[in-house]
Each structure stands twice: as C-alpha cells, then as structure tokens.
Amino acid sequence: MDVSVCSGKCIIVANLYNSAEVLPNMITQLVRLATLLGPANMLVSIYESGSRDATAEWLRLLRGVLGALSVPCIVTAGGNLTRRAGQDRIAFLASVRQAAVDQVLAACGGLAEGFCSADRIVYLNDVFFEATDVVRLLQYRDAHVACGLDFEPILAEHPAPEQRRFMALHLQQVWRVPGPLAARLAALTPAFRLWQKAYRRSVSLLRLLPLSFYDEWVARDVAGGRFVRPFPYTSHGPTAQRIRSGLPFAAYCCWNGLAALAGAPLLSGRVAFRAHRDGECGTSECSLLCDDLHRLGHTRVVVDPGVRVAYRAAAAERMAAGHQAAVGAPMEPAGVAYVEWRDDLPANLTAWRQPYGAAGAIERCCLAPGRDAVDFKNDCALVTVPKLR
C-alpha cells in the first residue's frame, strides 16, 4: 500500500466516552500509524467528556507518547460538552463530533498549522482497529467517504431458540455442564432468563456468539436500502456478492466505526455534524452528514470488507486470530472472504459501480421524539434522496 497518502496531511479524529478498554490498542495503533505515514503528516484530535473510568489517564499517556514522536495532537479530556437533561441525543452527539473538528480549526495558526486544509479526516469510534486498516481506507483517494465493516457479538439479535442453544453451549464449554443437562436447563424459562441477565455481555459468551454487523442505523447500500445485522448484511444482490467475495463496493452512506472522509467539506464549513431540522427524519448525525455531502455532489462512498473493526476485545481477538491462521482456514466473520490489498481494487470498484445510478430513495429509520433508540421494525420507511444544490 502507498504510505505517502498523507503527504497532503491527514487528521485522525476520535470522540471518546468511558473508553478505557479500547485505548491501549488505540495508542498502540496510532504509534504504528505515525510510523507508517510519517509523524509530520498526521494530526490527532480527540474530544472526550463525561467519562467515569480511566479514559482521562489513558489520554494523558497518549498525549505524552505522541509528543515524544513529534506527532501534533489536540486532546481535550473532561470537556464541557455533556448531555443535558432532556437534550436530544443526536444534537449532543453532533456537538461532540463537531467539537473535535472545531478544535483543529481553532489552532490553524499554531499547533494545527498546515492541517486546516488537510486532504483527509479519519474518524475513529471507540473501536479496536489496526493501523493498516486506516492506511487501506486512505488508498481510496477519490472517495468522499470510505469505510470498513464493524462487528459485534449480540445475543439479542438471535431468536429465542437460538439463544437457548447458545446457553446450552455456554454451560457446556464454560461450566462443564453435561450436554443433556445443559439442554434441559436452557429449556427452563426461569433459568434461561437468569442466564440472559447474568451472562449476555460476559466475555465467555461473547467468544461463542457469531459476529453481527453493527452499524445498521447508518449504513445504506448503493440502492438506498439499509444494512442489517445478519449476513450478508444487505438485500441488494450485487452488493451481497461483493461482501461474500471480500471486494469493495459502492454505497450511499457508511460510518461503520471507522471512516476516512475528504477533508475539504468539513474543514471549509460547507458541511458540519448536526441534528435533524424541521421536516427531516430524526436520524444519526452521520447519516445527515452523508445527506449533506450528496447535496453537494460528493457522492463517492465506498465500503471495503477488508477493513474490519470491533467494539469488544473478544470480537477483535477472533478477527485477529483469523488473520494469523493458515491460508484457506475459516475467518471471522463467517462468510466474508478476506482479500489482501491490491492496487487494482479501486479500479475494480469503479467498474462495478458504473451500472448503478443514483439511489431514488433511501430507507430511513427515524428516532421518535424523546427516545434514544430506534425501533427498526416500525420506524423505517423510504424517503426521497436529497437534491443537489
């Protein structure tokens, strides 16, 4: 891969909240990234507020490590943006995402000199990632948004019979309960409910559950349909085939835990993270950013299944183990082939994208007023795509 992709400067941005679990990996990977891209070619901007764990202590370490490497960094720990009682969830999330950009713009004449016209902005969620994932997304130089796929083992995504099967498997593998007894216990509703409450987020169970696609609220395929948790994640046949093959594909929108964006729209102020306006669907600030980019004609969105991030260490360990396995061995997530980077992948993507015109409508899932979570069964509908301006 071409590691000169940040010769025009790259900004690495993260918003963190109670992120002590992911920060050791984040620090390690940012050091690797600085080594690959060159410390003078990247700036790190992090905005954190409201954490109650050791996030602030890890950020002090990060600031010191990056300083020792001469990587410019702007780290706000314990920021004053916290969610007020009754404040709209998306309005708050948009404010902290934008704060991480604004603090770079505020330092244009100082620490961020040379970065206020950066070619690319890379946004990190609180995920486990690898430095080479970032470099790979940056290879899509013509993309306005480039993402990987994010994964999470989620018990609640499975129907009750499957959950009971996982309970029996968990009892056998972790507690050494004999199979017939484990099956009988899993069939007892009181025992099943107690197990759900006690173990649904335990590492021992997360290591057994299949990996589900996570960012179903934001990700939309090239036809405007939303991604879903179960494999192959989309009902758009050509996109599903690309996912199975591990090849990059065009989309209407993505974020997926790690996104590389063209820098100019955000840094110039032509777009910003925001909440919905009157008459708009109450959707994610990342979805609204995609809409605003499309209105400006910035329509090149790409998802590369070769970039895979996770929110849980148990999931990240499983995906990393797959990379280290023998060639041809099964890899996580199941069904998604892994394709090593090739320089012809962007051209291959362009050729695949050509037959598909602009999406006529987008499947939107709107957050009801006063709620913090979307009901994906009842709150989704097709809406007309935004017009160019």
Mean pLDDT of 163-174: 96
The answer to the question of residue 73 being in a domain is yes
- How many residues make up the chain in this entry? 389
Question: Do 163 and 284 have their domain in common?
Answer: no
CA angle 21, 19, 39 (to 5 degrees): 95
The answer to the question of residue 69 being in a domain is yes
For residues 39 and 70, is the Cβ–Cβ distance under 8 A?
yes
- With tokens 């197990």, the residue in question is 195
DSSP SS3 for 148: strand
The answer to the question of residue 242 being in a domain is yes
DSSP SS3 for 235: coil
pTM, two decimal places: 0.93
Mean pLDDT of 280-302: 95
Mean pLDDT of 210-220: 96
**CA–CA gap between residue 206 and residue 261 (Å, rounded):** 32
303-339 pLDDT tens trace: 999 999 999 999 999 988 765 544 444 467 889 999 9
Residue 204 tokens read as: 């021992």
Q: Which pLDDT value is given to residue 296?
A: 94
Mean pLDDT of the chain: 93
- Report the domain count for the chain: 2
The answer to the question of residue 389 being in a domain is no
78-115 pLDDT tens trace: 999 888 888 889 999 999 999 999 999 999 989 889 99
Alpha helices in the chain (DSSP H): 23-37, 55-68, 89-105, 131-138, 160-175, 179-187, 189-199, 203-206, 237-245, 263-267, 285-295, 313-324, 345-353
DSSP SS3 for 5: coil
Question: Do 52 and 90 have their domain in common?
Answer: yes
The enclosing domain of 80 has a CATH number of 3.90.550.10
Q: Which pLDDT value is given to residue 388?
A: 56
Question: Do 165 and 26 have their domain in common?
Answer: no
Share of the chain above pLDDT 70, in %: 96
Share of the chain above pLDDT 90, in %: 84
The answer to the question of residue 189 being in a domain is yes
**CA–CA gap between residue 386 and residue 389 (Å, rounded):** 9
Residue type, 231: F
Mean pLDDT of 177-206: 96
Question: Do 99 and 120 have their domain in common?
Answer: yes
Question: Do 231 and 337 have their domain in common?
Answer: yes
Q: Is the pLDDT of residue 268 over 50?
A: yes
Question: Do 187 and 282 have their domain in common?
Answer: no
Q: Which pLDDT value is given to residue 327?
A: 45
**How many secondary structure helices (H) and strands (E) does the chain include?**
13, 12
Residue 190 tokens read as: 């009181």
Q: Is the pLDDT of residue 387 over 70?
A: no
Q: Which of 73, 130, 115, 76 is CA-nearest to residue 98?
A: 76
Q: Structural domain of residue 370, as residue ranges?
A: 10-152+215-384
